[in-house]
C-alpha cells in the first residue's frame, strides 16, 4: 500500500466512519471528517515530494487483480498530469468542509460523509489506469454530488440535480460501450496495454470505428467539461448547489472532463482527435465567447460565475486540441488555475449569500464600505479570473493562446476576445456589488470576514499569486506528461507538424506512454 | 436386491434421488404444512409464524440438498432430469428467493390477518416447480415444472380473496398464463411430431443431422417463444405484468417478479441456446426485437407511473429486455451474463419490494411513490438500503446491477450486436430518471403521512432487506465467485 492508495482509501474510510457515527454526535463527526480530509491532504503532499520528475512512466503504481474474470485490475498510478489534479482535490476538500461549517444545519453527518466520498471518487478518477476502474470512479463521483445538490441545495435543487445526473449518465453509458468494445479488441482493460496494442498495431481500428470510439469518449467528457452546446446543466447545478458543492463541482469535477480528453481521447484515438479537432475548436471558441456574453447579462452572481466557467473551460479545450506543447501545457495549467480562482469566486459569493441570503447582484451595492477585507479578497480573485499578469490565470491563458496561435492564428484572435470580455463581466459585477451606493440591507447584514472564512480564503489567494508568479513549481512535471501524450499523437498518421516523428508511424517501439513494461505485474 | 436389477431403468437409484433432493424436500415440507395446519393453524386473527419458520428451514435444507446434488451431478430418472452447473445455479437462486419471500411475508400476513399455512405451502410448491423447471432435460418435464410453479403463483396472486385487486390480478394472471402455456405446449407437440422425442439432448442430436425439417422446428420455436415471452414478460407479451404486480399482495409480487421469471429464463436459455441453436439465425432477430421493445416500452412507461409496484413492474419488463439482449447474443458469454444478471436482478427487486411491503401498511394504502417522502429522515437505514437497490437498478458501479449490465452488453458487443448494446445502454440512462425519483422523494422531500406513522423495521423484513443489499454490493464489488459459477453453468450440454 503506497501513498496513492492511502489518498484513495482514507476518504473512503472516512466516509464509512462518518456514516456509522450516531446522529447525536454530529459535531464530533464534523471534526472527524475534517481530520480525515486534512490527513488526506497531508498524505497527498507526500505524493508531491516523492514524485520524481524526469522519470518516464507512472509513479506510485499499484496493480492488483480486482476481478479475475473478466480480468479487471485495481491499477492506479500518477504522472505529472494527474499529480496536481489529485492535490487540487485533496486541497479543496478541507476548504469545502470548513466553509460549510456553520452553513449546513440539517443532516450534517451525511453532508460531510458525501464530501469525503466525492473526494475518494475524484482522486480515483485521476489515478485509475484500468478503464473499468476509471469508469467505476467516474460514476461513483456522481452519487455524492447528486445528493449534495439535491438535499442541501436551493429552491430548484431537485430539477438541477436530476438534470445533472441524467446529462452525465447519457454521456457515460456511451463511454461504457466504447470501453467494452476496446476490451473485446484488446482482451484487457489496462490503459497502458491498450495504448501499447493500439500503438503497435495489434488492435487495428479502421477509420469509422476509431471515429465512433473517439466520439463516444469525447461525448462523455464534453458533457462533463462542459463544452458548448452541452453546457446547459452547469448553470442550474451551480446555482442550486450549496457553496461546498459549487466549489467542488467547478474546481475539480469539471476537470474530470478535460482530464479525460487529455488522458484518453488524445493518446488512444490520435487520428480521430486530429481529424475532429477543427469543429471541436470552433465549439470551444463559441463556448468562450458565448459563455462570456451570457455571463455579462446574468443578474445572479453564481450564474455569472457558472457561465464564466463555460468560457474558461473553452480555453482549456482549445489548448488541448491545438496539439501543441505550449497549448496543452497551458490547458492543464488552466485546469488548475480555474480550480483555484473559480473555486475562490464561488467561496466568496457563498460568503455573501450566507450574510444576505441573496445571489442577485441588484440586492447588493457598497459592500466595500462595510466589508473591506472581503472586498479586497474578492478583488484579487476577480483580477485573477480576468487574467491579470502576476496572477495565475494569466499564465494559463497566455500559454493556451500561444499554442492556439501556433496551430492556427485566427483561433487565437477569436479566443482572445474571451479574455477581454471576461474583464467586462467580472469588473462590472464587482463594481455593482462592492461599489456604488450602500444598499440598506447590505448595511444591516454584511459583516467582514470571520476567522474561519479567512482560513478558507487565504490558502486560495496565496496559491493564485504563487501560481501566477512562479509557475515553475507546477509546470515542469505537467510538461513532461504532456510531451509523452503529444509524442503519442504525433506518431499518428495524420499529423503534419512533426514530420520526423510521423515517419515512424506503425513501427512498434516501446510502449508509448513511457513503458507499460516497466511496472508490469 | 433382485428387484432393483430387474427394474434398473425404472426404480430410481439413491443417487438419482439425491439429485432430485431439493424438489423432494420442498414437496414434503409443503405437504407437511398442510397436515400441520389443523393442529397449529390457530386463530386467523393472530396468524401463526410457525409455518413460515418451517418453510425457511425447508428452503435452507433444500439449498444444502441442491449443493450436495451438484457434487454428484448427472442425469436422473431415465434422463428426464439433469443436474449440472446450470441447474444448480438456478436452483440456488430460486431457493434463496424463496427464503427472502418468506422473510418478507411475515409482517404482511400478520397485518392482513391472513392464513399462513396455505400461503407458505403454495410458496414451497411454486419453488419446487421452479427447481424442476431449471433441472429438466425434457420438454414434458419443463411443462410440468412450469405448471406446478404457475398454478401455485396464480393462487398466490389472489391470496387475499376478499380483496378486489387480488382477484383481478389472479384472474388476469391465470387467463393469460394458461393461454401462453397453451402456445408453449403447442410448440412442444410440433417438436415431438417432427423429432419423435421430447428429450432435449435427443432433439439436439436429431436437429444436428443433415436434412432435419428445420421449417417445422422454426414454427415450434416461434410458438414456444410466445409462451416463454409471456412468462418472462418480454414485449409484446408484457401487458399483464403491471396489472398483476400491482394487484397481487406485495410479497407475492416480489416473488413473481423474481423466482418464476428466473426459472422461465433458465428454460428459455436451456431450450434456445442448445436445441434451437441450429436455427439461431432465424430466431435471433425475433429476440432482439423483443428485447428492444421490452426495454423501450418498460422504461418509457415506467417514467409516468406513480404507483411503486406498477413502476417496478414496468422496470422488470425493461430488465427482461436487457436479459433478452443476452439471449440474442447466442453465446456462452451471453448465457453466463444472463445468469449473473438474474441473480443481481432478483436481489435488487426482492429488496425494493421489501421496502414497499414495509411502507404499504394494512390494505396496501401507501403504495404511491410519494408515500416514500422523507424516508431518509425518518428511517435512514431503510432508506440507505433502498438506495443501494435503486443504484443497482440504475446500474451504478459497485453494485450487482452494474456488473450485470456490463456483462450483458459485453456479450452483445462480442456477438456484433453493437447497436443493440448502445440502444440498451441509452435505455438504461432513460431508466435512471424514474429510479432517481425514488431517491428524490426519499431524501429531498419532507416526511409525509405514510412515513410519519411508519413502524420500525421488523426482524424478518429487516433481514429481507439487509441480505439482498449485502448480496447486491457483494455482486458489485467481488463478482468473481458468481461469475465463475455462471460461466461454469453456461457451458452446459454444448
Give the span between the Cα atoms of A465 and A460, in whole angstroms: 9
Residue A278: partners with Cβ closer than 8 Å, 6 or more residues away: none
The pair phi, psi for residue A496, each rounded to 5°, is -110, -15
Among B390, B402, B425, B479, which would you mutate to test the A interface (most chain A Cβ atoms within 10 Å of its Cβ)? B425
> Does residue A239 have a cis bond before it (omega within 30 degrees)?
no
Nearest to B480 among A69, A146, A181 (CB): A69
Give the span between the Cα atoms of B489 and A99, in whole angstroms: 54
Q: Could you report the average pLDDT of every consecutive run of 10 residues in chain B (494 residues)? A: 51 82 92 85 68 92 92 86 91 95 91 86 94 92 93 91 88 91 92 90 86 84 92 89 92 93 93 84 88 93 92 94 92 91 94 92 86 88 92 91 92 88 89 90 87 86 93 92 89 66
Q: Which residues of A touch B444 (CB under 8 A)?
A: 150-151, 157-158
Residue B463: partners with Cβ closer than 8 Å, 6 or more residues away: B103
Q: Residue A77 is placed in which grid cell?
A: 498510478
CB contact under 8 A, A150 and B443: yes
Give the span between the Cα atoms of A148 and A136, in whole angstroms: 19
Q: Residue A29 is placed in which grid cell?
A: 463527526
Q: Inform me whether the C-beta atom of residue B488 falls under 8 Å from chain A C-beta atoms.
A: no
User: How much is the CA Rg of chain B, to the nearest whole Å?
Assistant: 22
CA distance B333 to chain A (A): 11
pLDDT of residue A100: 86
Nearest to A184 among B413, B432, B484 (CB): B413
Among B422, B445, B446, which would you mutate to test the A interface (most chain A Cβ atoms within 10 Å of its Cβ)? B422
> Does residue B266 have a cis bond before it (omega within 30 degrees)?
no
Which run of H or E residues covers position B223? helix B214-231
Helix residue spans in A100-206 (DSSP H): 108-127, 131-152, 157-186, 191-200
Q: Which residues of B touch A184 (CB under 8 A)?
A: 410, 413-414
Nearest to B406 among A157, A174, A180 (CB): A180
Exposed, middle or buried by CB within 10 Å (0-12, 13-18, 19+), for A474? buried
- Separation in Å, CA B195 to CA B206, B217, B218: 7, 9, 13
CB contact under 8 A, A174 and B422: yes
Q: Residue B338 is placed in which grid cell?
A: 444472463
Among A107, A153, A173, A183, which would you mutate to test the B interface (most chain B Cβ atoms within 10 Å of its Cβ)? A173
Q: Residue A453 is placed in which grid cell?
A: 472564512
- Separation in Å, CA A331 to CA A275, A325, A473, A497, B326: 20, 10, 16, 19, 42
Give the span between the Cα atoms of A259 and A308, in whole angstroms: 19
Q: Which residues of B touch A132 (CB under 8 A)?
A: 406
CA distance B101 to chain A (A): 29
Give the span between the Cα atoms of B364 and B144, in whole angstroms: 34
Cβ atoms of A387 and A331 closer than 8 Å: no
Q: Inform me whether the C-beta atom of residue B171 falls under 8 Å from chain A C-beta atoms.
A: no
Give the span between the Cα atoms of B404 and B401, in whole angstroms: 5
Nearest to A180 among B394, B410, B487 (CB): B410
CB contact under 8 A, B429 and A151: no
CA distance B224 to chain A (A): 32
Domain ranges of chain A: 3-502
Unique residue bearing C-alpha cell 453532508: A111
Q: Residue A312 is placed in which grid cell?
A: 474558461
3-class DSSP assignment, residue B76: strand
- Separation in Å, CA A490 to CA A182, A201, A205, A209, A217: 22, 15, 17, 20, 20
Question: Hey, which residues 180-199 in chain A have their CB within 8 Å of chain B?
Answer: 180-181, 183-184
Question: Hey, which residues 389-448 in chain B have their CB within 8 Å of chain A?
Answer: 391, 394, 396-398, 402, 406, 409-410, 413-414, 418, 421-422, 425-426, 428-429, 432-433, 436, 439-440, 443-444
Residue B339: partners with Cβ closer than 8 Å, 6 or more residues away: B86, B89, B90, B269, B486, B489, B490
Q: Inform me whether the C-beta atom of residue B259 falls under 8 Å from chain A C-beta atoms.
A: no
Cβ atoms of B258 and B97 closer than 8 Å: yes
The count of other CB atoms within 10 Å of the CB of residue B161 is 10
The pair phi, psi for residue B74, each rounded to 5°, is 155, 180
Cβ atoms of A222 and A257 closer than 8 Å: yes
Long-range contacts of B140-145 (CB under 8 A, 24+ apart): B140/B80, B140/B188, B140/B198, B141/B80, B141/B81, B142/B267, B142/B270, B142/B271, B143/B181, B143/B184, B143/B185, B143/B188, B145/B263
Give the span between the Cα atoms of A143 and A124, in whole angstroms: 14
Closest CA to A392 of A452, A307, A324, A475: A475
Closest CA to A190 of A259, A270, A264, A131: A131
Give the span between the Cα atoms of A100 and A83, in whole angstroms: 26
Q: Which residues of B touch A143 (CB under 8 A)?
A: 391, 396
Unique residue bearing C-alpha cell 423474481: B258
pLDDT of residue B462: 92
Nearest to B413 among A140, A151, A181 (CB): A181
Closest CA to B142 of B269, B230, B318: B269
For residue range A478-490, what is the model confidence (pLDDT) as tens digits?
Answer: 888 888 888 887 7
CB contact under 8 A, B422 and A166: no
Give the span between the Cα atoms of B181 and B140, in whole angstroms: 12
Q: Inform me whether the C-beta atom of residue B377 falls under 8 Å from chain A C-beta atoms.
A: yes
User: How much is the CA Rg of chain A, to the nearest whole Å?
Assistant: 22
Q: Residue A496 is placed in which grid cell?
A: 503534419
CA distance B260 to chain A (A): 29
Rounded to two decimals, the ipTM of the complex is: 0.90
Closest CA to A231 of A143, A139, A295, A158: A295
pLDDT of residue A507: 35
Cβ atoms of A315 and A334 closer than 8 Å: yes
> Does residue A229 have a cis bond before it (omega within 30 degrees)?
yes
* Residues β-bridged to residue B138: B199
CB contact under 8 A, B432 and A169: yes
Residue A505: partners with Cβ closer than 8 Å, 6 or more residues away: A491, A492, A493
CB contact under 8 A, B487 and A69: yes
CB contact under 8 A, B436 and A165: yes
Give the span between the Cα atoms of A433 and A374, in whole angstroms: 12
Q: Inform me whether the C-beta atom of residue A136 falls under 8 Å from chain B C-beta atoms.
A: yes
Extract the residue ranges of chain A whose pLDDT is less than 70: 492-521
Question: Hey, which residues 81-110 in chain A have their CB within 8 Å of chain B?
Answer: 107
Query: How many helical (H) and strand (E) elements, i.e. helices and strands, does chain B have?
Result: 22, 2
DSSP assignment string, A277-317: HHHHHHHHHHHHHHHHHHHHT-SBHHHHHHHHHHHHHHHHH
CA triplet B143, B148, B152: central angle to 5 degrees? 140
CA distance A124 to chain B (A): 13
Closest CA to B364 of B2, B107, B85: B107
Give the span between the Cα atoms of A97 and A54, in whole angstroms: 35
Q: Which residues of B touch A130 (CB under 8 A)?
A: none
The three state secondary structure string of A28-82 is: HHHHHHHHHHHHHHHHHHHHHHHCCCCCCCCEEEEEEEEECCCCEEEEEEECHHH
CA dihedral for B305, B458, B121, B57, sign (positive or negative): positive
* Residues β-bridged to residue B83: B74
Give the span between the Cα atoms of A241 and A237, in whole angstroms: 6
HSE value, Cβ hemisphere, 13 Å, CA-based, for A518: 16
HSE value, Cβ hemisphere, 13 Å, CA-based, for B251: 31
* Residues β-bridged to residue A299: none
* Residues β-bridged to residue B136: B81
Amino acid at each position: 500500500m503506497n501513498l496513492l492508495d492511502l489518498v484513495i482509501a482514507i476518504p473512503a474510510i472516512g466516509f464509512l466512519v462518518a456514516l456509522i457515527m450516531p446522529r447525536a454526535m454530529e459535531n464530533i463527526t464534523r471534526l472527524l471528517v475534517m481530520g480525515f480530509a486534512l490527513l488526506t491532504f497531508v498524505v497527498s503532499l507526500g505524493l508531491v515530494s516523492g514524485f520524481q520528475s524526469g522519470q518516464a512512466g507512472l509513479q506510485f503504481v499499484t496493480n492488483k487483480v480486482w476481478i479475475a474474470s473478466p480480468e479487471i485490475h485495481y491499477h492506479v498510478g500518477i504522472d505529472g498530469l494527474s499529480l496536481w489534479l489529485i492535490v487540487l482535490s485533496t486541497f479543496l476538500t478541507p476548504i469545502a468542509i470548513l466553509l460549510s461549517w456553520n452553513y449546513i444545519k440539517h443532516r450534517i453527518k451525511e453532508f460531510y460523509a458525501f464530501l469525503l466520498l466525492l473526494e475518494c471518487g475524484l482522486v480515483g478518477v485521476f489515478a485509475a489506469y484500468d478503464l473499468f476502474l476509471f469508469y467505476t470512479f467516474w460514476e461513483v463521483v456522481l452519487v455524492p454530488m447528486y445528493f449534495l445538490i439535491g438535499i442541501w441545495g436551493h429552491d430548484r435543487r431537485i430539477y438541477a440535480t436530476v438534470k445533472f445526473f441524467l446529462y452525465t449518465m447519457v454521456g457515460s453509458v456511451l463511454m461504457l460501450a466504447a470501453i467494452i468494445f476496446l476490451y473485446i479488441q484488446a482482451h484487457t482493460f489496462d490503459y497502458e496495454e491498450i495504448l501499447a496494442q493500439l500503438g503497435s498495431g495489434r488492435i487495428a481500428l479502421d477509420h469509422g470505428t476509431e471515429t465512433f470510439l473517439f466520439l463516444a469518449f469525447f461525448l462523455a467528457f464534453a458533457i462533463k467539461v462542459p463544452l458548448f452546446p452541452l453546457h446547459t446543466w452547469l448553470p442550474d447545478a451551480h446555482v442550486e448547489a450549496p457553496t461546498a458543492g459549487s466549489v467542488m463541482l467547478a474546481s475539480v469535477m469539471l476537470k474530470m472532463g478535460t482530464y479525460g480528453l487529455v488522458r484518453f481521447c488524445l493518446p488512444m484515438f490520435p487520428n480521430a482527435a486530429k481529424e475532429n479537432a477543427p469543429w471541436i475548436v470552433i465549439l470551444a471558441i463559441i463556448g468562450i465567447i458565448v459563455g462570456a456574453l451570457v455571463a455579462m447579462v446574468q443578474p445572479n452572481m453564481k450564474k455569472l460565475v457558472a457561465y464564466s466557467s463555460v468560457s474558461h473551460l473553452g480555453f482549456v479545450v482549445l489548448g488541448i486540441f491545438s496539439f501543441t506543447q505550449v497549448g496543452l501545457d497551458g490547458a492543464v495549467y488552466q485546469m488548475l488555475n480555474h480550480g483555484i480562482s473559480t473555486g475562490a469566486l464561488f467561496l466568496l459569493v457563498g460568503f455573501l449569500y450566507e450574510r444576505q441570503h441573496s445571489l442577485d447582484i441588484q440586492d447588493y451595492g457598497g459592500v466595500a464600505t462595510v466589508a473591506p477585507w472581503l472586498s479586497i479578497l474578492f478583488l484579487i480573485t476577480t483580477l485573477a479570473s480576468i487574467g491579470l499578469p502576476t496572477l495565475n490565470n494569466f499564465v494559463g491563458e497566455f500559454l493556451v493562446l500561444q499554442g492556439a496561435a501556433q496551430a492556427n492564428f485566427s483561433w487565437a484572435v477569436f479566443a482572445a476576445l474571451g479574455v477581454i470580455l471576461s474583464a467586462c463581466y467580472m469588473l462590472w459585477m464587482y463594481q455593482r456589488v462592492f461599489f456604488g451606493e450602500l444598499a440598506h440591507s447590505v448595511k444591516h447584514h454584511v459583516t467582514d470576514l470571520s476567522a474561519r472564512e479567512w482560513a478558507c480564503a487565504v490558502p486560495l489567494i496565496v496559491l493564485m499569486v504563487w501560481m501566477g508568479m512562479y509557475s515553475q513549481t507546477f509546470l515542469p512535471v505537467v510538461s513532461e506528461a504532456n510531451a509523452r501524450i503529444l509524442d503519442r499523437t504525433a506518431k499518428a498518421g495524420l499529423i503534419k507538424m512533426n514530420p520526423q516523428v510521423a515517419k515512424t508511424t506503425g513501427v512498434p517501439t516501446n510502449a508509448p506512454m513511457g513503458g507499460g513494461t516497466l511496472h508490469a505485474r | 436386491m433382485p428387484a432393483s436389477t430387474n427394474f434398473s431403468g425404472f426404480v430410481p437409484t439413491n443417487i438419482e434421488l439425491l439429485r432430485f433432493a431439493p424438489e423432494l424436500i420442498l414437496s414434503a415440507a409443503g405437504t407437511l404444512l398442510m397436515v400441520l395446519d389443523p393442529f397449529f393453524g390457530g386463530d386467523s386473527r393472530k396468524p401463526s409464524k410457525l409455518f413460515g419458520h418451517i418453510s425457511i428451514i425447508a428452503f435452507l435444507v433444500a439449498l444444502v440438498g441442491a449443493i450436495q446434488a451438484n457434487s454428484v451431478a448427472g442425469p436422473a430418472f431415465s434422463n428426464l432430469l439433469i443436474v449440472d452447473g446450470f441447474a444448480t445455479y438456478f436452483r440456488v437462486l430460486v431457493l434463496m428467493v424463496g427464503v427472502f419471500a418468506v422473510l418478507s411475508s411475515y409482517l404482511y400476513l400478520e397485518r392482513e390477518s391472513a392464513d399462513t399455512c396455505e400461503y407458505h405451502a403454495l410458496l414451497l410448491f411454486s419453488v419446487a416447480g421452479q427447481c424442476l423447471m431449471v433441472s429438466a432435460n425434457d420438454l414434458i418435464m419443463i411443462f410440468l415444472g412450469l405448471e406446478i410453479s404457475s398454478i401455485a403463483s396464480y393462487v398466490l396472486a389472489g391470496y387475499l380473496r376478499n380483496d378486489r385487486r387480488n382477484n383481478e390480478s389472479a384472474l388476469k394472471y391465470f387467463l393469460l398464463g394458461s393461454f401462453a402455456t397453451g402456445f408453449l405446449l403447442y410448440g412442444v407437440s410440433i417438436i415431438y411430431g417432427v423429432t419423435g422425442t421430447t428429450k432435449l439432448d435427443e432433439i439436439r442430436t436429431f436437429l444436428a443431422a443433415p436434412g432435419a425439417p428445420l421449417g417445422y422446428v422454426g414454427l415450434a420455436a416461434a410458438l414456444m417463444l410466445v409462451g416463454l415471452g409471456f412468462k418472462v414478460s418480454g414485449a409484446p407479451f408484457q401487458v399483464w405484468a403491471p396489472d398483476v404486480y400491482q394487484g397481487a399482495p406485495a410479497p407475492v409480487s416480489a416473488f413473481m417478479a423474481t423466482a418464476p421469471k428466473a426459472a422461465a429464463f433458465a428454460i428459455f436459455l436451456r431450450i434456445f441456446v442448445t436445441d434451437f441453436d441450429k436455427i439461431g439465425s432465424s430466431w435471433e432477430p425475433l429476440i432482439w426485437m423483443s428485447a428492444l421493445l421490452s426495454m423501450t416500452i418498460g422504461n418509457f412507461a415506467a417514467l409516468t407511473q406513480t404507483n411503486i409496484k406498477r413502476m417496478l413492474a414496468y422496470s422488470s419488463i425493461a430488465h427482461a429486455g436487457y436479459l433478452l439482449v443476452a439471449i440474442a447474443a447466442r453465446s456462452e458469454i451471453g448465457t453466463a451474463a444472463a445468469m449473473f444478471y438474474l441473480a443481481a436482478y432478483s436481489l435488487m427487486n426482492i429488496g425494493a419490494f421489501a421496502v414497499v411491503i414495509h411502507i404499504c401498511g394494512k390494505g396496501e394504502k401507501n403504495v404511491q411513490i410519494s408515500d416514500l417522502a422523507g424516508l431518509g429522515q425518518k428511517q435512514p437505514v431503510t432508506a440507505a438500503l433502498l438506495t443501494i437497490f435503486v443504484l443497482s437498478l440504475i446500474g451504478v458501479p459497485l453494485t450487482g446491477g452494474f456488473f450485470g449490465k456490463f456483462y450483458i452488453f459485453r456479450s452483445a458487443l462480442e456477438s456484433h450486436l453493437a447497436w443493440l448494446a448502445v440502444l440498451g445502454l441509452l435505455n438504461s440512462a432513460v431508466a435512471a430518471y424514474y429510479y432517481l425519483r425514488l431517491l428524490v422523494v426519499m431524501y429531498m422531500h419532507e416526511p409525509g403521512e405514510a412515513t410519519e406513522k411508519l413502524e420500525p423495521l421488523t426482524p424478518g423484513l429487516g433481514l429481507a432487506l439487509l441480505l439482498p443489499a449485502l448480496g447486491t454490493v457483494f455482486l458489485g464489488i467481488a463478482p468473481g465467485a458468481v461469475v465463475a459459477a455462471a460461466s461454469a453453468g453456461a457451458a452446459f450440454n454444448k
